[in-house]
């Protein structure tokens, strides 16, 4: 949020965040399809009509939170040491997100499964993947050896997409097996593609 935001903008964002928290709690407990807009609105203490002043629908709630996560990962990648290679820097950039998911595993595991199992969310998950790769690829490009140019952009997009695929693969395995560590699974997945050090 930039300094140009008004008090009204801040209030609107706070309400959207609060509604999103209630929605994700309901999604984790009941699934995306089974959770209605009326249930979300009721949990947030607002009417259905008021809900639609803030969100176009349930899918916007999901995509917005996924985009926020991607932005946090991109910020973490930007803050990695400039001389760190792209692949280990990406793994390190995932760390905060991974730690947060493990800390809140009771909600995170069902939500990961929901993103893959609910037909209504498949397009949202694909949009998330595309947006994350678009956001991460330029940050990866500056970490790749060789001359800048079109081929570098292709390589950067491929590296970013591979890292996101590793994260998603690890998340699914972790969500399906409560006895596993997401961090360890991510290390295993990414290590299978390229060395992490």
Q: Spell out the SS3 assignment of 100-152.
A: HHHHCHHHHHHHHHHHHHCHHHHHHHHHHHHHHHHHHHHHHHCCCCCCCCHHH
Q: With residue 193 as reference, give the H or E element that holds it.
A: helix 182-193
Neighbour tally for 78: CB within 10 Å = 12
The first and second tokens of residue 160, run together, are: 């970013």
* 149-177 pLDDT per residue, tens: 556 689 999 999 999 999 999 999 999 99
pLDDT, tens digit, for every residue of 24-72? Answer: 889 888 888 999 999 999 999 999 999 999 999 888 888 888 888 999 9
Residue-level pLDDT at 2: 45
Q: What pLDDT was estimated at residue 31?
A: 87
Percent of the chain with pLDDT over 70: 95
Q: What is the fold, at CATH topology level, of the domain defined by 1-55?
A: Arc Repressor Mutant, subunit A (1.10.10)
Yes or no: is domain 57-193 CATH 1.10.357.10? yes
* pLDDT of 75 over the 50 cut: yes
| pLDDT value at residue 9 | 77
Mind listing the pLDDT tens digit for each residue in 126-139? 888 999 999 999 99
pLDDT of residue 61: 85
DSSP for residue 118: -
Q: Provide the pLDDT for residue 111.
A: 86
Ordered by start, the domain boundaries in the chain are 1-55, 57-193
């Amino acid at each position: 949020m930039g300094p140009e935001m008004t008090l009204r903008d801040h209030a609107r964002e706070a309400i959207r965040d609060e509604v999103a928290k209630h929605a994700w709690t309901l999604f984790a407990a009941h699934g995306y399809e089974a959770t209605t807009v009326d249930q979300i609105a009721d949990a947030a203490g607002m009417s259905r009509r008021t809900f639609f002043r803030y969100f176009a629908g349930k899918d916007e709630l999901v995509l917005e939170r996924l985009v926020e996560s991607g932005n946090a990962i991109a910020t973490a990648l930007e803050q990695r040491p400039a001389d760190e290679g792209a692949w280990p820097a990406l793994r390190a950039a995932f760390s905060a997100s991974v730690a947060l998911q493990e800390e809140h595993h009771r909600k995170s595991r069902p939500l990961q499964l929901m993103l893959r199992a609910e037909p209504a969310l498949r397009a949202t998950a694909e949009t998330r993947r595309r947006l994350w790769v678009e956001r991460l690829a330029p940050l990866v490009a500056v970490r790749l050896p060789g001359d800048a140019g079109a081929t570098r952009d292709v390589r950067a997009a491929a590296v970013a997409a591979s890292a996101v695929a590793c994260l998603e693969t690890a998340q699914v395995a972790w969500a399906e097996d409560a006895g596993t560590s997401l961090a360890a699974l991510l290390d295993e997945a990414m290590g299978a593609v390229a060395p992490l050090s």
